[in-house]
Amino acid sequence: MPMISRAPDTGVWLLSTPRTSYALRVDDTGAPCHLAWGPRLTLREAEELAAPQPPVASSFEGRPEVGEELPVDGGTRYGPPSLQVRYPDGSRAFEWQHTGHRLLQPAPGVAVLVLLFRDRLHPLHVALHYTVRDDTDVIERHTVLRNAGDRPLSLLRADSAAWSLPPLPGYRLSHVTGQWSAENQLRRDPLPHGETVLTSRRGITSHHASPWVMLDDGEADEEHGRVWSAALAWSGSWRITVQRTPGGRAGFTGGTGHEGTVVPLAPGEEHTTPVFAGLFTDQGFGAASRAWHRYVRDHVLPHADETAPVLYNSWEATGFDVDETGQKALAERAAALGVELYVVDDGWFGARRDDRAGLGDWTPSPDRFPDGLEPLADTVHRLGMRFGLWVEPEMVNPDSDLYRAHPDWVLHIPGRTRSELRNQLVLNFARDDVADWAYGWLTRTVADNGIDFLKWDMNRSLSEAGWPGTADGHDRLWTRYVTNLYGVLDRLRDDHPGLRVETCGGGGGRIDLGILRRTDQAWVSDNTDAVDRLVIQHGFGQVFPARVMSAWVTDVPNQLTARTVPLRFRFHTAMSGLLGIGGDLTRWPEEELAEAAELVAAYKQVRHLVQHGDLYRLSGPHGEQPTVVQYTAPDGSETLVLAWRRGPRHGVPQPPVRLRGLTPGARYRDTRTGQVHHATVLAGYGYLPDLEPGDWASTAVHLVRAD
């Protein structure tokens, strides 16, 4: 069956992925209408769903709020518009006129449908893009808008796509909320009637919400049930509006910008929205996450097939107090533990002694690095590690040479306060000269010092987001800031194909499918407490794969929470992502260094499973039971079980967990104990991870097929 087909009589379009179908058609009024998103259908079957709409019930109803591919502001529509336009004459509205379609096959296994429309009155063209692939159930959608007239117009709202669910008896919404150092707190609640807005108004993806949603009928669990989900590939302000209509339907629309932001469209100009990708599964939240993880690895990340190195980062060890001697000493110790990438964090440049000065002056401090960064880079390389550097290119301290030279380079509104957060202002990356300046020093710094890795940070939200001196810059900057940021990253990667980049925004402030297209891993949170981290990682992993989930083992008592948990527990938490170490190794006792070296070596034995395998969440991080996750080779040849227990309470029973993804009938050997287990028992009856008595017990069990 072709991936995209059309029924000639009814005009129904059917898009097919390996396990799902998506159907739509252009109705009699010219509007693109949704028919189906769910299990696989044939074209015939999809046509059955194209029954005519029931007549409107009263003069107060209009077209249904849910059920169009891109509900516009126009006609008798009263739901949240995905597209809202203001024309040069001040009038609004959009009236669909279908002008054709295109079918493309950009690569083997990929099919694209483009439905073409224009407004009946004004020369505004709208193209709806749908991409399906033969190796994922994720459907990518975006919209292209073109002003074919000779006067400027404004897009008051230009969402990427609207997604509609079938009528269900009830709906539940899953998403994450959070704040700095407590990102990705998973919420799973009944979907309220009316409109629920998930958004960032901060100019960045944000710690407070993540641009994805999942909806189910209220009964799905990790293993079962229908789940409809979507994720937006955008790193600036965004908004997803989820609706539950009085008529019993649910759907959501999503795109860039928050309420009040406007996208100007000059004559001849085209605006391409980011992708808002959707996924349906009938096998629960676990399957949804695994499908997202595979999609991100196969179709988003630039180098997901690589094995990510074990990293050391100096931030928690030294703070701003970095110099050549101290860093070399840490590098020696890190190398001895088996670390493969050494990253110097904040404090290496300009007058940066704390967070009050120096940001923007990207030359090594002469008193700390008298001969520049090269000697340190050489030492790190000689020790057999790659060399990484922290940068925060979008920011400036007012106390810096850069700001003294270019006070107009920051986002600001003349006459208004320039609000500082962490003593810094935001450079206007929407300006090409600012973006070019950043690209210039970055590409030179990378080239001159043999830099293999950048930790690209962003430590505050936008404020007074103005671009004086331009006619429509105040509006344009919300998108241009992000596209210029993407442009700098793309240019850097082109210049330095070996360069790898970590996205960081004061922890997890900028993680989304847009930034992941041009980075390799993500700093998930500044909270490195291994216990808090299990909760943060649980929320993060709903959509984002362990392949990008950077996690460090740091010192105890933890800097933030003052909690002390054993080194093993900290390691096991970090080993469920990209293992890093961030403690002050000069203070670790010999026995901890030895244990750490063993755990690093153990991680290297299993990291292919963590980074490229399938994640099964066997028991979540809340409640009294141990947290258990499993990473399995897609062919079932081996698996890693990680388990953590907080304080046990006497008499609370601990039931076994049933392992997933094993080959039925096979036997598996525990690589540490040599014990052999039957898959039938592990999967059908369960497995009890062997946890020591007492608080903060943890274990990592590697099972390999024995026959």
Footprint of ligand GLA (CB under 6 A): 315, 345-346, 390, 457, 459, 504, 506-507, 523, 526
Q: How many CB atoms lie within 10 A of CB 155?
A: 23
Rounded CA separation 586/588 (Å): 6
What do you get for the CA distance between the two ends of the chain, in Å? 38
Residue 616 β-bridge partners = 630
- Among the listed residues 253, 232, 66, the one whose alpha carbon sits nearest the alpha carbon of residue 157: 253
| C-beta closer to ligand GLA: residue 457 or 638 | 457
Q: What's the token pair of residue 477?
A: 């900057």
Task: Based on the residue annotation, tell me whether 457 is a catalytic residue of this protein.
Answer: yes
- Among the listed residues 516, 534, 506, 513, the one whose alpha carbon sits nearest the alpha carbon of residue 206: 506
Distance of closest approach, residue 506 Cβ to ligand GLA, in angstroms: 4
| C-beta closer to ligand GLA: residue 256 or 459 | 459
| C-beta closer to ligand GLA: residue 345 or 394 | 345
Distance of closest approach, residue 464 Cβ to ligand GLA, in angstroms: 22
| C-beta closer to ligand GLA: residue 216 or 526 | 526
| C-beta closer to ligand GLA: residue 315 or 544 | 315
| C-beta closer to ligand GLA: residue 27 or 526 | 526
Rounded CA separation 304/266 (Å): 38
Distance of closest approach, residue 434 Cβ to ligand GLA, in angstroms: 21
CA quadruple 555, 559, 564, 566: dihedral sign: negative
Of 27, 137, 346, 457, catalytic: 457
Distance of closest approach, residue 580 Cβ to ligand GLA, in angstroms: 11
Distance of closest approach, residue 138 Cβ to ligand GLA, in angstroms: 29
Distance of closest approach, residue 523 Cβ to ligand GLA, in angstroms: 6
CA quadruple 367, 372, 378, 380: dihedral sign: positive
* Strands 161-164, 172-177: pairing kind: unpaired
Rounded CA separation 588/312 (Å): 14
Distance of closest approach, residue 352 Cβ to ligand GLA, in angstroms: 9
Distance of closest approach, residue 180 Cβ to ligand GLA, in angstroms: 8
Residue 576 sits at φ, ψ, to 5 deg, of -85, 5
Rounded CA separation 580/313 (Å): 7
Rounded CA separation 548/537 (Å): 11
Rounded CA separation 660/666 (Å): 13
Task: Based on the residue annotation, tell me whether 635 is a catalytic residue of this protein.
Answer: no
E runs forming strands in 515-612: 521-523, 549-553, 578-581
**For residue 248, what are the CA distances in angstroms to 163, 194, 245, 642?**
15, 10, 5, 42
> What Rg, from alpha-carbon coordinates, does the chain have?
26
Chain residue whose CB lies nearest ligand GLA? 346
| C-beta closer to ligand GLA: residue 251 or 506 | 506
| C-beta closer to ligand GLA: residue 346 or 614 | 346
Q: Left, alpha or beta for 360 (phi > 0: left; psi -120 to 50: alpha)?
A: left
Within 8 A by CB and 6+ apart from 455, the residues are: 313, 343, 345, 388, 389, 390, 391, 501, 502, 504, 523
**For residue 522, what are the CA distances in angstroms to 332, 537, 587, 644?**
25, 12, 27, 23
- Among the listed residues 641, 644, 645, the one whose alpha carbon sits nearest the alpha carbon of residue 686: 641
| C-beta closer to ligand GLA: residue 560 or 681 | 560
Rounded CA separation 209/177 (Å): 5
Distance of closest approach, residue 449 Cβ to ligand GLA, in angstroms: 18
Of 361, 526, 532, 614, catalytic: 526
Task: Enumerate the active-site residues.
Answer: 457, 526
